[in-house]
Amino acid sequence: MTALQFLLLENNNLNGTIPPEIGNMTALQQLDLRNNKLEGEIPATISLLQNLNYLALGTNKFTGAIPIDLGHRQPLETIGLANNSFFGELPQSLCKSFALEALVLNNNNFSGTLPPCIQNCSNLYYVRLGQNNLSGDIRQVLGVHTNLTVLDVSENQLSGTLPPTFCSYTSLQILDISNNNLSGELPSCWWNLQDLQFMDLSRNAFSGKLPTSKNDISSLKLLHLASNNFQGDFPFVIRKCKNLITLDLGGNRYYSMIPSWLGVRNPMLRFLRLRSNMFYGNIPRRLSRDSYLQLLDLADNNLTGSIPTGFGNMTSMMHQNKEQFIISVDKSAAYPYFNRIHVNWKGHDGIFQREVALVTGIDLSTNFLSGEIPTELSNLQGLKFLNLSRNHLSGGIPKDIGNLTFLESLDLSVNQLSGPIPSSITNLMSLSSLNLSSNNLSGEIPKGNQLQTLDDPSIYGNNSGLCGFPLSIKCPNNSSSVSAFNKQKEYHKDLEDLWLCYWVVAGFIFGLWVWLVGLIFFKSWRMAIFGYMDRLKNIVM
């Protein structure tokens, strides 16, 4: 088919390899084989297609290196090789025509440095090179790209600092340079990037403070700055991000109180992660007014005071969330960007992306919080995890803890909690991770349902008053169950109330008899009372 110009076979179940005879189709302009089950290497003959401007082979099982002269003869505008197993260095002639507009190579095993010609592709608007092993100075990627809307070079080994010229990418909507070796401070002109919706600088070595801005940053929705060396007070510029949905400042060196305006100035906030900093003071009670908040992670700081009772009113935690948040950029709707968040889930760090809408939880662990666990937290029936461990919390476990029917992980360890474990905990049918160790809990451990599968004794360790399965400590006969313990407690309370009534009646009868005996045996008492009644009668008459 030497006259064929378009061969579009994407989204099928094709398997096998690309035949080398494809080099005979000299009129071919577009080749789209995305989302199939093709394998093997790209045949070298593909470089013979001198009219090829669109090459899309993403999401297959291709392997091997890219033909060394790919792009040498072709006016390639779009190159899509994502989600395969390609390796080796990129051809230096890949963008020799300078016509390149979209370069999508993410999730492969490419290594080495980027072709220098990329800097001179002035029409480039979409770059995704994430999840590879590319190295070199990031300034080798940055050039004259006034139309650049997406830049993703995450999870590589790029180094260097961001130059002030970076601020000229005023059309940039998605910026993901996370998980590299980048360093230095952000340019003071940073917020010239007025169209940014998604920004991820996490897991680098950036330092200093986040630049300020005179203008509202209304476009920004997702901001990830975790695991860097940012420092100082809570970034005031966040106050201007009124449409912010995700804020992740975890793993930095911020040292201040958490501002009371947070959440009020950011009413759309859903995911708030401030863990592993040096924030101090009380938890702002105004956070409970944020009706959209579904993840609150303030763990590993120096917070004091009590847990606000208003947290029980956070409506987005009262039910399961299923809404997915996706960012699509013009001309690249086929490559949507999903929101994501790092979560310490059941003792392990994990990244939730496509399923981020399902993440609903509170983590206030490793602080200096005191007081009782608010009973109002039992209203948050949509919670998937609750971690209040390593604080100074006292009192008992809320008796209605079993109302959290979707709870999968509960950690209340290393506190000063006392009393029995509520029997309602057996209602947590989804519970797969539990830690109540190192408290002052007592009584028999409840039995039944999902709780029977949690048979590790360390779950209840270092609670001298607990007994029963899975501990080796047997319970006394007179306290065979928590239920019996509670009934006995209620019985004693009723008995105390009954005795109080008896004493009141007995006191009344005794006092009455004292007066009657006095009237009979003491004449002076009778005369005084009768005289008082006569005077009272005269006054009335």
Give the DSSP per-residue string, 472-503.
SPPPPGGG--HHHHHHHHHHHHHHHHHHHHHH
For residue 525, give both structure tokens: 């008492």
HSE-CB at 352 with a 13 A cutoff on CA atoms is 17
Dihedral, CA of residue 352, residue 173, residue 96 and residue 45, to nearest 10 = 40
pLDDT over threshold 60, residue 495: no
d(CA 281, CA 146): 45
At 198, which helix (H) or strand (E)? strand 198-200
The per-residue pLDDT for 517 is 60
d(CA 275, CA 251): 6
Coil vs helix vs strand at 419: strand
335-354, pLDDT tens digit by residue?
666 677 778 777 777 777 66
Within a domain: 75 = no
Neighbouring residues of 507: CB distance < 8 A, sequence distance ≥ 6: none
Domain extent, residue 366, equals: 280-328+336-476
Q: What DSSP character marks residue 263?
A: T
282-304, pLDDT tens digit by residue?
999 988 888 889 999 999 999 99
The per-residue pLDDT for 326 is 67
Q: Are 259 and 272 in contact (CB under 8 A)?
A: no
Identify which of 348, 386, 380, 346 has the alpha carbon closest to the alpha carbon of residue 365: 386
pLDDT over threshold 80, residue 381: yes
Within a domain: 291 = yes
d(CA 235, CA 252): 12
d(CA 362, CA 245): 17
69-108, pLDDT tens digit by residue?
998 888 999 999 999 999 999 998 888 888 899 999 999 9
Residues facing 150 on adjacent strands: 126, 174
93-149, pLDDT tens digit by residue?
888 888 899 999 999 999 999 888 888 888 899 999 999 999 999 887 777 788 899
Within a domain: 415 = yes
Within a domain: 183 = no
Q: Are 70 and 94 in contact (CB under 8 A)?
A: yes
The per-residue pLDDT for 120 is 84
d(CA 538, CA 541): 5
Coil vs helix vs strand at 44: helix
The alpha carbon of 116 is separated from its chain's Cα centroid by a whole number of angstroms, namely 38
Coil vs helix vs strand at 140: helix
Within a domain: 166 = no
Give the total number of structural domains in the chain.
Answer: 1
For residue 136, give both structure tokens: 């070199």
Please give the backbone phi and psi of residue 351, each rounded to the nearest 5 degrees, phi first. Answer: -115, 125
Q: Which amino acid is at 527?
A: M
CA 26-27-31 angle, to 5 degrees, is: 90
Neighbouring residues of 172: CB distance < 8 A, sequence distance ≥ 6: 148, 149, 150, 151, 193, 195, 196
Q: Which amino acid is at 190?
A: W
Range from 51-60, 232-241, 525-534 carrying the lowest mean pLDDT: 525-534
d(CA 485, CA 444): 9
Q: Are 407 and 386 in contact (CB under 8 A)?
A: yes
Q: What is the mean pLDDT of the chain?
A: 87
242-266, pLDDT tens digit by residue?
999 999 999 999 999 999 999 788 9
Composition of the chain by helix, strand, coil, percent to 5: 25, 25, 50
Tokens 């971690």 found at: 387
Q: What DSSP character marks residue 384?
A: S
The alpha carbon of 219 is separated from its chain's Cα centroid by a whole number of angstroms, namely 21
pLDDT over threshold 50, residue 14: yes
Identify which of 148, 150, 144, 160 has the alpha carbon closest to the alpha carbon of residue 130: 150
At 362, which helix (H) or strand (E)? strand 361-363
CATH number, domain of 465, equals: 3.80.10.10
The per-residue pLDDT for 480 is 42
Within a domain: 265 = no
Range from 17-21, 79-83, 477-481, 499-503 carrying the lowest mean pLDDT: 477-481
**Cβ-count burial of 333 within 10 angstroms (0-12 exposed, 13-18 middle, 19+ buried)?**
exposed
The per-residue pLDDT for 537 is 52
Within a domain: 485 = no
Query: Which percentage of the chain shows pLDDT scores above 70?
Result: 84
Within a domain: 211 = no
